[in-house]
Amino acid sequence: MDTVVAIRGVTKRYGPLVAVDGIDLGIRRGEIFGLLGPNGAGKTTLISMIAGLLRPTSGEISVLGHDVVREYRETRRAIGLVPQEINFDPFFNVEETLRMQAGYFGVRLAEERLVEILGALDLLSKRTTNSRALSGGMKRRLLIGKALVHDPAVLFLDEPTAGVDVELRRSLWSYVRRLRERGTTIVLTTHYLEEAEELADRIGVIDRGRLLVVEDKDALLSRHGAKVLRLSLARPIASLPAPLVAVGARLDAGGSVVTFEASTGDAFGPLLAAVADAGLAVGDVETRRTTLEDVFVRLVSRDRGEATA
């Protein structure tokens, strides 16, 4: 397997705080890697180190075989970074912003490529609009455009569709897939787990600076059960009765929802019997297939030692 980004034993400390804690990870050529984690997990810190914007306290990172600290110029050129925060000069228009960014990398932005990027981001009609006069969602799209002008081998997308409307979110997803088909490796960070489920080939979950899991998305989903049963309780409870904990149920939504994940519908029988034995009054029942969000919540809450399966 062709590794594009190799992360070996990387730690980042801020005084006593260990923001990234001994991470080993390889990002493969041409994949969409979903890096997920709660607020403060260490995602931005890790990505900033890969992009050479932050130095690891220890460990090594290479991009296309080049060390990101010692060979910063080579690695920076291989990377496109879409940050969470808007970082362009409001005095330039859309086209000027992209041309300046290309100039920064010493690349001449051909008309054809400019039109392709603007078209994919639905910004063609805004080509000569001052970036100050763009809507929030358009500004985010321009950020993506900026990261693409030098045709990077690896694109880091941090919350790419935050504040973007539904229709455009779908068209951005299809553009991200097209980039992958052309060979671009994509690292996606998002709190919007439906987006990761839709796009990612592999998932890494990070919490408190440590990688909890790195796995093929489909394998991860099937390993964590195929179906979810959600029982809304008529009266919230303070803690889950032991027989329900024993069958693997979880208490959510402040004690008002019992959630149970199973690989087959057969497993629901013992659960329902335990609910009846415990005398819980059920107000509503819902079943659905397991989502990445279910898996994510389970992994993170387990890591934090909360009551889970």
Q: Which residues bind ligand ATP (CB under 6 A)?
A: 14, 17, 19, 37, 39-45
Nearest CA among 63, 245, 221, 279 for reference residue 154: 63
Nearest CA among 212, 209, 215, 210 for reference residue 196: 215
Q: Which is nearer to ligand ATP, 29 or 191 (CB)?
A: 191
Shortest reach from residue 160's CB to ligand ATP, in Å: 14
In the chain, how long is the greatest CA-to-CA distance?
A: 71
Shortest reach from residue 214's CB to ligand ATP, in Å: 16
Contacts of 266 (CB under 8 A, 6+ apart): none
Shortest reach from residue 48's CB to ligand ATP, in Å: 8
Shortest reach from residue 193's CB to ligand ATP, in Å: 13
Shortest reach from residue 42's CB to ligand ATP, in Å: 4
Q: What is the DSSP letter of 93?
A: B
Nearest CA among 3, 32, 30, 51 for reference residue 147: 51
Q: Which is nearer to ligand ATP, 39 or 125 (CB)?
A: 39
CB 4 within 8 A of CB 27: yes
φ, ψ for residue 191 (rounded to 5)? Answer: -95, -5
Q: Which is nearer to ligand ATP, 260 or 296 (CB)?
A: 296
Residue 212 to residues 24, 33, 294, Cα–Cα distance (Å) = 11, 15, 15
Q: Which is nearer to ligand ATP, 50 or 271 (CB)?
A: 50
Q: Which is nearer to ligand ATP, 42 or 145 (CB)?
A: 42
